[in-house]
Amino acid sequence: MADRIGKPITQRQLRVGEMIKQALCMVFMKNEAKVPNLETNTITVTEVRMSQDLKIAKAYVMPLGGKDADKVIDQLKDYSFLIRKILSKKVFMKYLPKILFRKDESFEYAEKIENLIKQTNKEKEV
């Protein structure tokens, strides 16, 4: 799995990404972020990908049930400074990365693939 063409993801990137993912999960689960009008305990962090220099973390998130996902992502982006401040007390690194929130499309993609497989199986039966 390559982050950029020709540059494989290092063990360090994976390790730091997993550490930030776990910390984000705890912050959201305990609703410590205090984002206005948002219950963060309904948000799932599925993956965190780190840049080569560990200065940027892309956090792939999905609200429970996937409803209002775009609105939730926008709120998280607007209050990322607040979330980052709380993370700084939980994750001890020389430089805490900037967190970019992205909608996790993998569930939709998996559902699309599953539906295609079911459709193909039905066509074979007929």
Which residues have a Cβ under 8 Å from the Cβ of 14 and sit 6 or more positions away? Answer: 50
DSSP 103: E
pLDDT score at 5: 62
Distance of CA 22 to the CA centre of its chain: 11
Amino acid at 126: V
> What integer pLDDT is reported at residue 79 of this predicted model?
83
The letter for the amino acid at 123 is E
The count of residues in the chain is: 126
Q: 61: number of CA atoms within 13 Å, CB side?
A: 32
Which pLDDT belongs to residue 4? 54
What pLDDT score does 6 carry?
Answer: 61
Q: Which of 98, 102, 87 is nearest to 26 (CA)?
A: 87
CATH code, domain with 30? 3.30.300.20
pLDDT of residue 90: 82
What is the maximum alpha-carbon separation in the chain?
Answer: 62
With beta carbons less than 8 A apart as the criterion, state whether 75 and 33 touch: no
Closest CA to 101 of 122, 78, 117: 78
What range does the domain containing 72 cover?
A: 2-125
Residue 119, beta-bridge partner list: none
Please tell me the total count of domains within the chain: 1
User: For each successive 10 residues of the chain (126 residues), what is the average pLDDT?
Assistant: 64 88 88 78 85 89 79 85 85 85 79 80 72
